[in-house]
Amino acid sequence: NAGVMQNPRHLVRRRGQEARLRCSPMKGHSHVYWYRQLPEEGLKFMVYLQKENIIDESGMPKERFSAEFPKEGPSILRIQQVVRGDSAAYFCASSPPKGIGNTIYFGEGSWLTVV
């Protein structure tokens, strides 16, 4: 069974460029979460999506960040006009539909470096 797949694993962007991070959930999982881990800090919730719906984006910065989970294809976390403070590890996680299990599985992360 393939786990949660994230790509790219490492991404370097210059200030002002755009970063796109992709996440394919585990097979059978329809719920996707994005978390961010800043250096020397714990993971912080960003957004929770189901197919074609953003359910909770309370952890997303108000500007420059957006997320989607289209009907077909992976979930995308998009960061426009990146700044140095966006340098972090971005983790995607997935879980089965509600009621089947509460377990959440994380991918290996995408490490964004802004130079």
Partner 1 sequence: QKEVEQDPGPLSVPEGAIVSLNCTYSNSAFQYFMWYRQYSRKGPELLMYTYSSGNKEDGRFTAQVDKSSKYISLFIRDSQPSDSATYLCAIRSGDGGYNKLIFGAGTRLAVHP
List residues binding partner 1 (CB under 8 A).
4, 31, 33, 35, 40-45, 48, 55-56, 91, 93, 95, 98, 102-109, 111
CB of 6 to partner 1, least distance (A): 8
The minimum distance between CB 104 and partner 1, in angstroms, equals 4
Strand partners for 23: 6, 75
| Cβ neighbours, 10 Å, residue 105 | 15
| Cβ burial 70-91 (10 Å sphere, 16+ → b, else e) | eeeebbbbebeebeeebbbbbb
Q: Which is nearer to partner 1, 6 or 114 (CB)?
A: 6
Closest approach of Cβ 55 to partner 1, in Å? Answer: 7
